[in-house]
Structure 1
Amino acid sequence: MSASTLADWVGGFLLLAGATLGLVAGIGLVRFPNVLDRIHTATKPQVLGVLLLLAGLALRLRTPSDLGMLVLVAIFQLSTAPVAAQMIGRAAYRSGRVDRTLLDADELAGR
């Protein structure tokens, strides 16, 4: 088996794993009961799924221009997903949509 064939198989596996994590994240968004659980499923498995998809694409494409674009997409994804989750959590907390009994510590309770 050549190195190119092995890279194609590994890339295909990474693409399937990333797609599966994206599917799990989507199902979690529908199934989880509250905002805090949905934030978790919208960021962690989704970001890992996108990174696995990008790694699979990198193994399949292998051209420098494509690899540069994939790295930029990965950096953008890693920098925006946590910020978006923070903003969604803050908006949900301030609008009263968070069940405060679920919080272990509530640093904003006195404000």
Structure 2
Amino acid sequence: MGAGLIIFVLAVSGWCREPKENPICIIQTNMGNIEVEMFQNDAPQTVANFIGLAEGKKEFTDKKTGKKVKKPFYDGLIFHRVIKDFMLQGGCPLGKGSS
């Protein structure tokens, strides 16, 4: 399966729910949804950073324009590395795994 076939689309603003302990984020892809439990007690800064970027509340530098923006970071990104039955890797704004 080519990495370009899976679109990493994250709509966390409407797709995170708060269970009793950890938020659950839903990653929507063209191959189906993936539920990710966020372990905020173990990694509070990482969870806050991920959710802030996903919801568009955390500022970042857009790699394509070089400008500071606040928008959903993960929307439209691809999984640039896919190893069947093992892992998916995504989050690179250029889709190459280099940034």
Which TM-score applies when normalising by structure 1? 0.22
Higher relative contact order (CA 8 A, sep 6+): 1
**Structure (1 or 2) with the greater strand fraction:** 2
**Structure (1 or 2) with the greater helix fraction:** 1
Q: Give 1 or 2 for the bigger CA radius of gyration.
A: 1
Which TM-score applies when normalising by structure 2? 0.24
